[in-house]
């Protein structure tokens, strides 16, 4: 068995199953009925990978590939169903709530609790918390509850907190793609500083340009399995050659007129989903842009897939974003469909994204960047199905 000698992180045959429990089975589970049937979803299957000490390794994969599940297992959020993990060093997690999981904390309380977990005494924490506030640029919002933050504000808090101390290992989930140009530059600078001081880490992402910038080695994760691994530039080319969704079961039909929105105004993005077979669906979206020399940036990212009650035929769907918090400019509106039936291959469902080369152009108009506003993210998104869907 490989004991991880020479590696900061080593995984062997890592697998993860999630059990899908119907709400009608709850009482039978409580009373321990041994005959209660469970459906299982295989999120990861026999994943083996190594992260050399002092190196960052990229994990490339499209939505639903299992990237976030893998990172959360490495970070101790989930337990693996099977397999072995060796982690040599103290790890800092740059995803979701950084492992704390309480969005009622203020930014200040979150940072203080995070440092306390790592054994920093009260006197030292006071200065470090001030450093985190300065780096995050949250100002007075640093003393407000995290649930009131936009996704970009939360990302700044989590990144500033997780990287304030020099850790041996960093587990990063897409966060470097969130935020404005100024803050992204700060993030890259800080992470490179940590890297130059001997840190190791994993970056999971669908942004191949981020892997090229940060990682020497990379792996491709597809449908819960490692497809290949090797030198980052070679792996990126293989990633770009992965098969595209074939629209066999569902197709996204964008509006025939260009998508145009006004910065700071309510934004409605309408499209149709042509469902060719009765498959239960969920939809997610992001808004991204390309900036020369930096690559693709995630500007808005919905927190989770939202189930939509589609019927066979044409289903009109709209997404509403109140007070669109984007500066004037050209963006791409990306849509991702996911089957809620684990037996259905998501490659049979359409997706629109720059990673597939078919993102939907979105033009945002406005006088200047000051039109952008911060909003509580969970109350921004409204995905609505119209009543006149075809049968």
Pick the CATH number of 7-240 from 3.40.50.300, 3.40.50.720, 3.40.50.2000, 3.30.1330.10: 3.40.50.300
Domain range list for the chain: 7-240, 250-385
The position carrying tokens 């259905």 is 344
Measured CA to CA, the distance from residue 211 to residue 37 in angstroms comes to 42
Spell out the per-residue pLDDT of the chain, length 391, in tens: 344 458 999 999 999 998 766 555 555 555 555 565 667 788 999 999 999 999 999 999 887 788 989 999 998 889 999 999 999 998 888 876 555 667 899 999 999 999 998 899 999 999 999 999 999 999 999 999 998 988 778 888 988 998 999 999 999 887 565 566 678 778 888 888 888 888 999 999 887 888 888 899 999 998 899 999 999 989 998 888 877 666 788 888 888 889 999 998 888 899 998 888 888 888 888 888 766 555 566 666 666 788 888 788 898 888 888 888 888 888 888 888 888 887 777 767 777 776 666 788 999 998 654 433 333 333 333 444 444 443 3
In this structure, the strands spanning 39-52 and 7-20 are antiparallel
pLDDT tens digits, 299-308 = 666 667 888 8
Q: Say what the pLDDT of residue 261 is.
A: 93
Question: CATH topology for 250-385?
Answer: Immunoglobulin-like (2.60.40)
Tell me how many degrees the CA angle 175-226-290 measures, rounded to the nearest 5. Answer: 35
User: Closest Cα to residue 199, out of 273, 288, 94?
Assistant: 94
């Amino acid at each position: 068995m490989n004991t991880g000698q020479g590696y900061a992180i080593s995984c062997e045959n890592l697998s993860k199953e999630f059990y899908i429990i119907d709400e009608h089975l709850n009482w039978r589970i409580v009373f321990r009925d041994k005959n209660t049937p469970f459906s299982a979803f295989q999120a990861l299957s026999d994943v083996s990978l190594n992260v050399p000490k002092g190196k960052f390794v990229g994990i490339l994969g499209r939505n639903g590939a299992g990237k976030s599940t893998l990172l959360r297992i490495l970070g101790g959020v989930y337990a693996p169903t099977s397999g072995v993990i060796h982690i040599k060093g103290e790890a800092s997690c740059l995803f979701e709530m950084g492992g704390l999981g309480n969005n009622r904390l203020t930014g200040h309380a979150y940072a203080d609790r995070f440092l306390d977990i790592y054994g920093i005494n009260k006197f030292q924490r006071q200065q470090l918390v001030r450093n985190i506030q300065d780096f995050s640029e949250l100002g007075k919002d640093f003393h407000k509850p995290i649930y009131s933050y936009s996704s970009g504000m939360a990302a700044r808090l989590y990144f500033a907190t997780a990287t304030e101390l020099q850790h041996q290992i960093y587990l990063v989930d897409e966060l470097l793609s969130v935020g404005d140009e100024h803050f992204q530059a700060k993030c890259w600078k800080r992470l490179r500083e940590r890297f130059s001081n001997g840190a190791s880490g994993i970056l999971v992402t669908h942004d191949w340009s981020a892997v090229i910038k940060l990682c020497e080695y990379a792996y491709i994760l597809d449908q819960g399995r490692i497809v290949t691994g090797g030198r980052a530039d070679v792996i990126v080319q293989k990633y770009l050659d992965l098969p595209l969704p074939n629209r066999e079961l569902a197709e996204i039909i964008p509006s025939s007129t260009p998508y145009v929105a006004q910065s700071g105004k309510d934004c409605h993005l309408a499209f149709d989903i042509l469902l060719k077979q009765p498959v239960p669906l969920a939809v997610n979206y992001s808004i991204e842009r390309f900036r020369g020399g930096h690559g693709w940036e995630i500007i808005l990212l919905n927190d989770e897939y939202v189930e939509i009650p589609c019927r066979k035929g044409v289903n009109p769907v709209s997404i509403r974003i109140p007070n669109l918090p984007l500066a004037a400019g050209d963006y791409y509106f990306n849509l991702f469909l996911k089957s809620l039936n684990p037996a259905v291959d998501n490659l049979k469902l359409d997706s629109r994204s720059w990673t597939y080369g078919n993102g939907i152009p979105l033009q945002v108009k406005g006088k200047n960047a000051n039109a952008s506003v911060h909003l509580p993210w969970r109350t921004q998104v409204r995905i609505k199905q119209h009543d006149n869907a075809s049968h």
